Structure 1
Amino acid sequence: MATQSSYFPKIIFFVFTLCCFISNSNARLLSEKLTWKRLLTVDQSGGGKFKTIQDAIDAVPSNNVDVTLILVMPGTYKEKVTVPEDKPFIILSGRDVLNTTITWDDSGDIYTSPTLSVFASDFMARYLTIENTYGPGAKAVALRVSSERAEFYACRITSYQDTLLDEGGSHFYSNCYIEGGTDFICGNAASLFQKCHIHSISKENGAITAQRRSKPEEDTGFYFVDCRVTGIKSYTLGRPWGPYSRVVFVNSYMSSEVNSQGWDDWGKPSTHSSVYYGESKCYGQGANRSKRVEWSQSLTNQEAHTILSKTMIRAKLKIKA
């Protein structure tokens, strides 16, 4: 594994969060001029060396230290894809999110059903649709992220139940579209969602988030900044998978379909004193807090700043510039 001196930090999440929150700047989060040492092309038509994404990932050496760009040409790739722990520094990139799709239809278990599973650190994905087409009725994960450091740019992530298993580690999602009906952003990672569109297809009061923080000392949580939250029918912002569940929405649009109470305790009233559910400077008809549950927080600018700065992601993606 390369040392930190071999790579200088490309992204410091804490800085970006403060930029978004304090100055609302449009700071560049990802250089368009990424440098890589290895380029692998996946093309179903035979124009590349590989016809499947998994074959390209398998070709990356174990204990990889070189930034590897896997360029996925347009097409629908019906395969389950795994990025193993011993293959860090991979950039998985399509060219057009609307016509470059990784798809599968497995269900039943959040750990075995994912279409794409990421275990390697310093992983990046962009311009890809990642979907699980199973539909309602069972757990059916589209994307599982258990990487220490991972970033997703302009991706579409869709399923119904448990769409995004944001399991553990420090993650960043920028300008992504995430869709589901029940607990569709779940897990115990420390993740920042910036300028993402979160869309509920629940028919009645399905929760967007199920954050799993289980101990008060854990620096985990889901933070939504400058996002757009919509739904086809009534939905809630979250419910506690873990007793210290933590979710914060800052400066985000909320459509009228948000349940007026906002948050659900999942039938666990004992969590009212331990969960941390906060909203700050949100807008839209669904952001009206007059009927919110009393155990959620209406945050001032300073309170939101303090929460973010105390608990924000400290990991750095080490992509060589």
Structure 2
Amino acid sequence: MVLLISFNAVAGSSGSINSIVSKDRNSGNYTTVGEAIRNAPEFSQKPYIIHVLAGIYQEYILIPSTKINIHLFGDGPNHTIILANQNGSTIDIRGEGFMAQNIGVINSAGLDASAAVAVRNEANNSIFFQCSIQGFQDTLWAVSGRQFYKNCDIYGTVDFIYGNAAAVFQDCMIYARYRQFVTFTAQSRESPYEKTGFTFQRCSFTMSPEDEDRKSEVRATLGRPLRNYSTVAILQCYIDSMVDPKGWEEMSGQGIDKVTYVEFENVGPGSNTDGRVDWSGVRVLGNHNQALVFTASYFIDADSWIPTRGVPYDSEL
């Protein structure tokens, strides 16, 4: 059965929900998100909208490359939660055009896991809007493709936003969980010919609320290179006091002479760049024109695909 229900809160939808997931089968079509994905059409040329009602869904979810334009919408990131506890990922997204809104995704495997990935995303033209993504080490694996994150909360400890996507984060809270040493990013651009990297615009790099009282015990850096051409831009962000004055750090076995780590108009106690590492690719941008190349319109060609999703975004600075 396909439900056609008005749901105006869904960004970019035509007003029709195709299926509903509920812990109570009487309230929807399916009781698990995975079941709804498996029964979605393949290669759909329009959004296939799945409303996931409030509840904790303990499952591992794969969205294969044949399931394109899947849109998952929840009842809020603290109410609709997809939860796993494992070495691996909670949700693995491979179908292009994916979108998630108002959903929490958690991998609770903790500090003992070698890689507790909440979201593994290789979906081109994918969006997370008003979501919470929670893990510890390697929380968000932005593997490849153009990706956009808006008004999201992302929690982790070590290299917890990593991968080789071209990803833009706007108005997101980037939360460090307690650990003696924290690295926010580990971008893995491999070649000067790739147009990949991470841009953070108007985001906050700070401590998670539950660990705020231990902030003075933490030393954090904005990132380290997972591959030699690692690229990260921090634009108009708040940088908290636990970020070390040097800003960036080395990754064992990776070079530092080809990285691009730039900052522009940041504020906060950790934003002073006087003590940043003395690498050739680490610099403070002097004007808007230099920063424009890292904005959504340029970096992920946002104007060509985000407007059709109904998600607010800033094309420039």
**Please, what TM-score do these two structures have when normalized by structure 1?**
0.84
Match of 1:305 among 278, 292, 301: 292
Match of 1:255 among 223, 228, 240: 240
> Taking structure 1 as reference, are residues 146 and 78 closer, same or farther at Cα in structure 2, changes over 3 Å only?
same
> Taking structure 1 as reference, are residues 45 and 86 closer, same or farther at Cα in structure 2, changes over 3 Å only?
same
> Taking structure 1 as reference, are residues 199 and 38 closer, same or farther at Cα in structure 2, changes over 3 Å only?
closer
> Taking structure 1 as reference, are residues 77 and 221 closer, same or farther at Cα in structure 2, changes over 3 Å only?
same
Aligned partners of 1:114, 1:317: CA distance in 2, in Å?
26
Identity %: 32
Q: Which residue of 2 aligns with 1:19?
A: none
Aligned pairs (5 A) from 1:145-184: 145-184=121-160
Q: Which residue of 2 aligns with 1:195?
A: 171
**Structure 2 contact 10–73 (Cα < 8 Å) conserved:** no
**Structure 1 contact 126–154 (Cα < 8 Å) conserved:** yes
Match of 2:40 among 27, 43, 60: 60
**Structure 1 contact 101–128 (Cα < 8 Å) conserved:** yes
Q: Which residue of 2 aligns with 1:115?
A: 90
Aligned partners of 1:165, 1:89: CA distance in 2, in Å?
20
Spell out, residue by residue over 1:138-160, the C-alpha distance to the aligned partner (whole angstroms, 9 max, x if none). Answer: 21100000011100001000110
SS of the residue 1:183 aligns to: strand
Alpha-carbon offset, residue 82 of structure 1: 1.1
What is the total number of aligned residue pairs between the two structures?
A: 286
**Equivalent position amino acid for 1:51 in 2:** T
> Taking structure 1 as reference, are residues 31 and 80 closer, same or farther at Cα in structure 2, changes over 3 Å only?
closer
Aligned partners of 1:117, 1:188: CA distance in 2, in Å?
15
Aligned partners of 2:296, 2:126: CA distance in 1, in Å?
20
**Structure 1 contact 67–320 (Cα < 8 Å) conserved:** no
Aligned pairs (5 A) from 1:14-33: 32=11
**Structure 1 contact 35–320 (Cα < 8 Å) conserved:** no
Gaps of 5+ in 2: 1-8, 208-214, 311-317
SS of the residue 1:184 aligns to: strand
SS of the residue 1:56 aligns to: helix
**Equivalent position amino acid for 2:291 in 1:** A
**Structure 1 contact 220–311 (Cα < 8 Å) conserved:** no
Gaps of 5+ in 1: 1-29, 108-112
Match of 2:199 among 223, 227, 251: 223
Aligned partners of 1:92, 1:234: CA distance in 2, in Å?
36
Q: Which residue of 2 aligns with 1:204?
A: 180
The reply on whether 1:234 has 2:232 as its aligned counterpart is no
Match of 1:78 among 47, 52, 58: 58
> Taking structure 1 as reference, are residues 33 and 185 closer, same or farther at Cα in structure 2, changes over 3 Å only?
closer
Q: Which residue of 2 aligns with 1:10?
A: none
Aligned partners of 1:68, 1:320: CA distance in 2, in Å?
12
Match of 1:129 among 94, 98, 104: 104
Aligned partners of 2:309, 2:110: CA distance in 1, in Å?
39
The reply on whether 1:93 has 2:69 as its aligned counterpart is no
The reply on whether 1:273 has 2:257 as its aligned counterpart is yes
Q: Which residue of 2 aligns with 1:140?
A: 116
Alpha-carbon offset, residue 272 of structure 1: 2.6
Aligned partners of 2:124, 2:309: CA distance in 1, in Å?
17
Spell out, residue by residue over 1:154-180, the C-alpha distance to the aligned partner (whole angstroms, 9 max, x if none). Answer: 100011010000000000000000000
Alpha-carbon offset, residue 267 of structure 1: 3.7
Aligned partners of 1:306, 1:124: CA distance in 2, in Å?
25
Alpha-carbon offset, residue 37 of structure 1: 5.4
- Higher relative contact order (CA closer than 8 Å, sequence separation 6+): 1
Aligned partners of 1:87, 1:203: CA distance in 2, in Å?
38
**Equivalent position amino acid for 2:292 in 1:** H
**Please, what TM-score do these two structures have when normalized by structure 2?**
0.85
Alpha-carbon offset, residue 218 of structure 1: 0.6
Alpha-carbon offset, residue 97 of structure 1: 1.3
Q: Which residue of 2 aligns with 1:244?
A: 229
Alpha-carbon offset, residue 71 of structure 1: 0.1
Spell out, residue by residue over 1:181-214, the C-alpha distance to the aligned partner (whole angstroms, 9 max, x if none). Answer: 0000000000000000001114223211000000
> Taking structure 1 as reference, are residues 31 and 74 closer, same or farther at Cα in structure 2, changes over 3 Å only?
closer
Alpha-carbon offset, residue 62 of structure 1: 1.7
Alpha-carbon offset, residue 314 of structure 1: 2.5
Alpha-carbon offset, residue 249 of structure 1: 0.3
The CA RMSD measured in Å over matched residues stands at 2.0
